[in-house]
Structure 1
Amino acid sequence: MASFLKKKWVKFCLIGVSAVVVFFIGLYISIYLGLFGKLPTTEDLSSIKQEEATQVLDANGKLIGKYYVFDRQPLKFEDFPQHLIDALVATEDARFYEHDGIDNVSLMRVFVKSIILRDKSAGGGSTITLQLAKNLFGRKHYPIFGILINKFQESIIAKRIEEIYSKNEILTLYFNTVTFPDNTYGVESAAQKFFSKSAKALTKTEAAMLVGTLKANSYYNPRLHLERCEDRRNIVLNQMVKYNYLPQDSLELLTADSLQLNYRSFNHDVGVAPYFREQVKQELAQILDSINEANDTNYDLYKDGLVVHTTLDYKMQTLAEAAMKSHLTKLQPAFEASYGNYAPWKSKSKLLEASIKNLKAYQVLKEKGLSHEQIKDSLSVKRDMEIFNWEGDTIKPLSTIDSLQHYLKLLNTGMLSVEPKTGAIKAYIGGIDYRYFKYDHVSQSERQVGSTFKPFVYTAAIENGMKPCTYFSLAEVTYKNYDDWTPSNSGSDKEDPYINYTLEKALSNSINTIAVKVLNEVGIQKVTEQTKKLGIAKKLPQQPSLALGVAEINLKELTGAYASYLNNGHAVKPYAITKIEDKQGNVIAEFKPKVNKTQGFSNYTREVMLEIMKSTVNSGTASRLRSSYGLQNAIAGKTGTTQDNKDGWFVALTPNLVTVTWVGNDNHSIGFKTTGLGQGANSALPIFANFYKLLNADAEFNAITKSNFDAPSQNVVEDLNCEPEKRDGFLKRLFGKKKKTKDFDEK
């Protein structure tokens, strides 16, 4: 033996082995001492703080969105189903309950195969605790021996973790930090994203699928590679049988079960109610700033696991979005067809040319000295581009100008439904698709409101003593002191100037000439004072066209004002957030409904106006709710159409819900080609009609759909009991003028 050891090659081998051992020992010690970066101490590990997503819940506690840097929702150990734990241990670390963080058998395999033999199929030899160490602290890049240094660091951290935490606590930390497909952190977030359920409700096959994705979460992303993911799930189920976590006879049944995803992205731009979630986020940022300043706290919207309770009804929101899509899918092609070859978004149109010059890309090229034609040539270069389409997003070879033409022609929308007595927002649609249209038509936009303003004129008139059975002539009047302005009516109401309508008949049929006359009678000042009482704070145009809705008003404000007719004359301010909790469940902020303390008008006026707006639905401009859509619910309402058919509106009042819808083009120069297509009854009303039909079909909403208005008082019934119209007598027709000229009273 002694002679063998004296051989030169043996000496070299022993020296080589010793050198390697010394090197590894020295490397390990240097890593332990922090020469390659400070390692977390036991104190650091004892107080691990994980960044957690802020959760946004609907009124019933359903998760509707998150704000996060890392999409993570931590759970407690008792929230994990046993088969989820079994699947993880069987697949990732069969000796988890036996080792102290390091599985020496696996590490030896990695050392021999991966380090020495360079066999990439050797596997990682990693334990759950080692993976946890990597999840918590990540890996750094080192020029040489990077994998070795990181493995040693993780082994040291894993040992310390095992000294501090129990096996159940380690599993809890692991499940709350591990990365699943689509940049999802933690099993709860993954369960919510891929199956729309909590982790505690996962079935055996669902749990096995999620565990299976941990091997390579891009390669096994079930959203993209479902069949591949099923094969991997079956491997996990086999592992569970192998280690006696499942009986053999259940394997065939479980592997035969095809995966059914119920995918819900919590990406900020997609999913349910994206405009609402963005509005909530903006409000939250301001609220948290105030809380932090007042209490010397440091709440972070994206990292501190706050829970935000909102007023939204998830199911109602999904029905509203479906109703909107159903209508706009039909209206858009009709809108395009109505223009034919002379559409304002077609090539060579003045509008298109002006829009091209307003492009940022155009301005950049112009600053570089290019001519108009050169710039257009540059903007005409085609490339593959994903665009919005009602039939489904498509990728087409388009130029910048092609894209501009495409988006110029698209109609957009806004819709808001609130509880009339509180202002609690139940459904909120800010536009047709948040990915492509960030502008919020509920909270940001101000558009002319058209005839939806007329009820405020009539409210002011009745509140100031005008009787509901007051008659006004249909005849057109030219107002000399306003540039000879002559408001006119449309349709059959334009034909006979000798007919006189009551307020009920005039408003339910949206008669322009009479609306201006009522405004003249009551006075602009009293009308604007009335609107202020209803929460519309902005300065309104002091001109007779105000009666026809030339004022640009925010949809949210308009909704709050109309709620007054269902709330004893008190307007409301639509609100979204009810309370905010920290991650321990402590309430850090709470919010109450904001109802105007001042009563905007008397109960008599409210009842009269409600009866008039019921007539709008039963026999007036919104009667297609009854005739075309078959809605027999208790509904009052008002349609609205602006000049040149730029905006279509519908306001729906039901006893427990007020809904306002708007449809139009974001470019104010583009209106509907015809009134028949663009009037509120055709452009905006169908969204509400589709929405309410869906509500009617779901018994969950019976409290809304089956509710009835209170019967009007006897004096209101008597005051409305008159012929809706009367014709001028023979002498008045003989000597009266068909068209009058007068000054508009500027009182």
Structure 2
Amino acid sequence: MAVKKNNNQTKNIEKNITYYKKKFWKIFFYGLGAIGLFFLFASWGLLGSMPSFEDLENPDSNLATEIISSDGVVLGKYFEKNRSQLKYSDLPKNLVQALVATEDARFYEHSGVDGRGTLRAIASLGTSGGASTLTQQLAKQLFHGEGSKFLPFRIVQKVKEWIIAIRLERQYTKNEIIAMYCNVYDFGNNSVGVSSAAKTYFSKEPKDLTIDESAILVGMFKNSGLYNPVRNPEGVKNRRNVVLLQMEKQNIITEDQKVKLQSLPITLHFKLETHKDGTATYFREYLRDYLKKWAEENKKPDGSDYDVYKDGLKIYTTIDSRMQLHAEEAVAAHMANLQEEFFIQSKGNKNAPFVNISTKETQRILNQAMKSSHRWEVLKSQDKSDDEIIKSFNEKTKMTVFSWKGERDTIMTPLDSIRYYKHFLQSGLMAMEPQTGNIKAWVGGINYKYFQYDHVGQGARQVGSTFKPFVYATAIEQLNMSPCDSIIDSPFTIPVGRHHVTESWTPKNSDNRYRGMVTLKRALANSINTISAKLMDKVGPEAVVDLAHKLGIKSEIPTQPSIALGAVEITVEDMVAAYSTFANQGVYTKPQFLNRIEDKSGTVIYEPIPESHDVLNKDIAFAVIKLLEGVTEGGSGDRLRTTYGGNGDNRWTGYPYQFKNPIAGKTGTTQNQSDGWFMGMVPNLVTGVWVGCEDRSARFKSITYGQGATAALPVWAYFMKLCYADSGLKVSKEDFNRPPNLSIKVDCYSAPKVKDTTNIQQDTEEFEL
């Protein structure tokens, strides 16, 4: 009986074992099937959207558009997210090594999912890490976002990451995956991707990062919010040292290198990239407006619109970054000094910075500025009444204001801040290659953050005597005159009715002197008003206006004799283009600031066609050049060559420029010295400079500082000194090209070598209407 009972028990046990075996394998296979279905449903998108094949091929990267100089430097970007695309070959080797060693040591061994790491994470319930590979982290960044803390959702998200990671591994090489990951990570401070981060935190290109700097950025991959070197330098140092330790464990660096690098302090060159900072700010804003119009007129191959802020376009410009920096330095250096003198002269003027206008006119100017301000616009949008807004403009408040010694915190009323900013002298500078039309430098003002009006392409100002060469060129062309022909400098009146004059016009020389017989070369060199008026009378205003428009001047020019003295408002851009025609042997070339536009794949999608046309024959153009050379040899621009100087109060004792090479140029000063100009040319570079206040009533009291030779010429001189010192720019010091068989006499050997020195303090160029 006992044996029978034991047999039954054995049979029952065997039966139970068989039952549980079947049940186990049934559960096992059902589980596998469920897991398979779970993965299948996830891949089909039934558990939430999944990227398609096309999405993987072209992930939504939201790339910044880059503005690139002619010498390959990124001048700035347009972006919603400051993110630039790098190729793997652009990444520094030490950064890639540090990233793999720290984030995914078996990156080159797995196919998107690290089985060993996953099992380890499951066994430790995640306490030893989440086992996310670089590819999974890329999947999360590109298509998934932050993980959920709710376990069921987190499991779904993890499965989707695995699927996307495997697809990415099939679609891309390992190097491409690393490059993509480095391009999409948000490093904070509006810096997405290694390229932006390197520039923001270290002011470097990625290829120039040191091992220490690369380790800092790799450390930030763990949590850029926590390990931000600006806010948490100590935490960043600790995290950097962990990265260096991992690099030593992977035999990337030696132990000695690790110890040395770990002892280094965190050194940043932090500079937040914004649209209002950096190089060529005024040009970049001008370019942005152009690109908006371009995008409206040009479509993608699929018919959709280009988005300048997201499509990762490469805008290759004609701007030379070196020349641009020289131009900005020249403007800042001279304008800071000139502004100091302006403040000195404004002391004691209760109506400063305005001169010779009534209190009523001053109030009109301030009221207009108040109503045009952003503050007024904001308060109006809040349904504030005019009286309430005006009251707020008279209440003192804390603010940060611009000064040439740096931003300063102060307390003043918004209305007082308007008057304060009206004191500041502004400047515009543009440099262009006359043969190609390529714009090489563009400085639209003194500080874009505080003064956003562009005085190169946007603001037209009266040009004064810089207009006179157009009158002389017309006379040489129509009257067959030469620079060596003489004309009498004497009182002159154009009567009523002649050239549509409604009142008789009698121009005066600003020094009230008359010199008798003078050559055209001497007359232009000393900017003699009566000579310009007589030439205008001979050729007629219509002919001069016609020539000016052929030279590319777009402004409306009245057909009146007074334009001979510069009573015309023209932009710096148009003036540079017009003068360039003389340097280009009579051929006008339209200014060009764009070389080409490429999409994010490097495909050229736009190339502008250069525009040019003949205006003058070579002989006439060269004759004008010789006239303008006379200005710098013995006229209002001779301070470029001489060392004598001084303004009567011994604050300035001389001119430091002492150029020896051929220079053609012309100074210009408008009535009441509200605008100062200098147009300067060498054979392969034409540069125009304007200086003046925003309001024409804000100005120097006397011509000593307000004239073009003092206000604008030094900017040109400083700029050219820097360009000549930069041998890589190859700015010419040679003679202008002399046409063969020149038919016009240009070598006036009897002409004086220096200008009249009886009145050194001012140039005889101010016009009176």
1:31·1:149 contact (CA, 8 Å) conserved in 2? no
Partner residue in 1 for 2:509: 489
Indicate the SS of the match to 1:650.
strand
- Residues 179-328 of structure 1 aligned to structure 2 (within 5 Å): 179-195=186-202, 197-218=204-225, 220-222=227-229, 229-257=236-264, 261=268, 266-292=273-299, 296=303, 298-328=305-335
Find the aligned partners of 1:124 and 1:650 in 2 and give their Cα distance: 67
Indicate the SS of the match to 2:214.
helix
Q: Cα distance 1:533–1:483, how it changes in 2: closer, same or farther (>3 A)?
A: same
- Residues 666-685 of structure 1 aligned to structure 2 (within 5 Å): 666-685=694-713
Indicate the SS of the match to 1:453.
helix
Between the aligned residues of both structures, percent identity stands at 38
Alignment of 1:101 with 2:113, yes or no, is yes
Find the aligned partners of 2:300 and 2:591 in 1 and give their Cα distance: 26
Deviation at 1:305, TM superposition (A): 2.4
User: For 1:538-589, what per-residue CA distance to the aligned partner results, in whole angstroms no more than 9, with x for missing partners?
Assistant: 3311222101111111221111110111111112211111112223322222
- Residues 328-477 of structure 1 aligned to structure 2 (within 5 Å): 328-342=335-349, 344-345=351-352, 349-358=359-368, 359-360=370-371, 376-465=390-479, 466-477=481-492
Indicate the SS of the match to 2:587.
coil
In the alignment, residue 282 of structure 1 is paired with which amino acid? D
Given the alignment, which residue of 45, 61, 82 partners 2:72? 61
Partner residue in 2 for 1:556: 573
Indicate the SS of the match to 2:595.
strand
Q: Cα distance 1:123–1:433, how it changes in 2: closer, same or farther (>3 A)?
A: farther
2:443·2:456 contact (CA, 8 Å) conserved in 1? yes
Partner residue in 2 for 1:527: 544
Alignment of 1:156 with 2:160, yes or no, is yes
Find the aligned partners of 1:227 and 1:697 in 2 and give their Cα distance: 43
1:42·1:161 contact (CA, 8 Å) conserved in 2? no
Partner residue in 1 for 2:178: 171
Q: Which moved more, 1:309-318 or 1:264-273?
A: 264-273
1:39·1:157 contact (CA, 8 Å) conserved in 2? no
Q: Cα distance 1:379–1:419, how it changes in 2: closer, same or farther (>3 A)?
A: same
Alignment of 1:687 with 2:687, yes or no, is no
Partner residue in 2 for 1:84: 95
Given the alignment, which residue of 113, 125, 141 partners 1:135? 141
Indicate the SS of the match to 1:341.
coil
Q: Cα distance 1:133–1:666, how it changes in 2: closer, same or farther (>3 A)?
A: same
Deviation at 1:167, TM superposition (A): 4.6
Q: Cα distance 1:228–1:564, how it changes in 2: closer, same or farther (>3 A)?
A: farther
Q: Cα distance 1:148–1:180, how it changes in 2: closer, same or farther (>3 A)?
A: farther
Cα root mean square deviation, aligned: 3.5
In the alignment, residue 731 of structure 2 is paired with which amino acid? I
- Residues 541-552 of structure 1 aligned to structure 2 (within 5 Å): 541-552=558-569
User: For 1:197-255, what per-residue CA distance to the aligned partner results, in whole angstroms no more than 9, with x for missing partners?
Assistant: 54344332221121123344355444666676445423321232234332212113323
Normalising by structure 1, we get a TM-score of 0.83
Deviation at 1:422, TM superposition (A): 1.3
Paired residue total: 687
Q: Which moved more, 1:87-96 or 1:55-64?
A: 87-96
In the alignment, residue 521 of structure 2 is paired with which amino acid? E
In the alignment, residue 487 of structure 1 is paired with which amino acid? P
Alignment of 1:74 with 2:85, yes or no, is yes
Q: Cα distance 1:661–1:354, how it changes in 2: closer, same or farther (>3 A)?
A: same
Partner residue in 2 for 1:709: 736
Q: Which moved more, 1:361-370 or 1:658-667?
A: 361-370
Indicate the SS of the match to 2:344.
helix
Given the alignment, which residue of 580, 588, 591 partners 2:597? 580
Indicate the SS of the match to 1:414.
strand
Q: Which moved more, 1:456-465 or 1:197-206?
A: 197-206
2:490·2:530 contact (CA, 8 Å) conserved in 1? yes
1:32·1:153 contact (CA, 8 Å) conserved in 2? no
User: For 1:580-618, what per-residue CA distance to the aligned partner results, in whole angstroms no more than 9, with x for missing partners?
Assistant: 22233222222243222x2x2232222221111111011
In the alignment, residue 160 of structure 1 is paired with which amino acid? I
Given the alignment, which residue of 513, 517, 529 partners 1:500? 517
1:109·1:125 contact (CA, 8 Å) conserved in 2? no
Find the aligned partners of 1:367 and 1:352 in 2 and give their Cα distance: 28
Q: Cα distance 1:356–1:718, how it changes in 2: closer, same or farther (>3 A)?
A: closer
Can you give the 5+ residue segments of structure 2 that lack an aligned partner in the other structure?
1-30, 497-501, 643-654, 754-768
Find the aligned partners of 1:105 and 1:399 in 2 and give their Cα distance: 67
Alignment of 1:638 with 2:666, yes or no, is yes
Deviation at 1:195, TM superposition (A): 4.3
Partner residue in 2 for 1:540: 557
Partner residue in 2 for 1:3: none
Given the alignment, which residue of 50, 55, 69 partners 2:61? 50
Find the aligned partners of 1:168 and 1:295 in 2 and give their Cα distance: 30
Find the aligned partners of 1:425 and 1:371 in 2 and give their Cα distance: 45
In the alignment, residue 590 of structure 1 is paired with which amino acid? E
Deviation at 1:162, TM superposition (A): 2.7
Q: Which moved more, 1:710-719 or 1:465-474?
A: 710-719
1:422·1:594 contact (CA, 8 Å) conserved in 2? no
Q: Cα distance 1:343–1:108, how it changes in 2: closer, same or farther (>3 A)?
A: farther
User: For 1:644-683, what per-residue CA distance to the aligned partner results, in whole angstroms no more than 9, with x for missing partners?
Assistant: 1111110001010000011111123323221111101111
Indicate the SS of the match to 1:477.
coil
In the alignment, residue 557 of structure 2 is paired with which amino acid? L
2:525·2:634 contact (CA, 8 Å) conserved in 1? yes
Given the alignment, which residue of 26, 29, 49 partners 1:38? 49
- Residues 605-624 of structure 1 aligned to structure 2 (within 5 Å): 605-624=620-639
Q: Cα distance 1:43–1:618, how it changes in 2: closer, same or farther (>3 A)?
A: closer
Partner residue in 1 for 2:646: none
Partner residue in 1 for 2:13: none
Find the aligned partners of 1:365 and 1:290 in 2 and give their Cα distance: 35
Deviation at 1:334, TM superposition (A): 0.9
1:134·1:154 contact (CA, 8 Å) conserved in 2? no
In the alignment, residue 529 of structure 2 is paired with which amino acid? N
Find the aligned partners of 2:484 and 2:519 in 1 and give their Cα distance: 5
Q: Which moved more, 1:460-469 or 1:638-647?
A: 460-469
Q: Cα distance 1:346–1:541, how it changes in 2: closer, same or farther (>3 A)?
A: closer
Q: Cα distance 1:316–1:521, how it changes in 2: closer, same or farther (>3 A)?
A: same
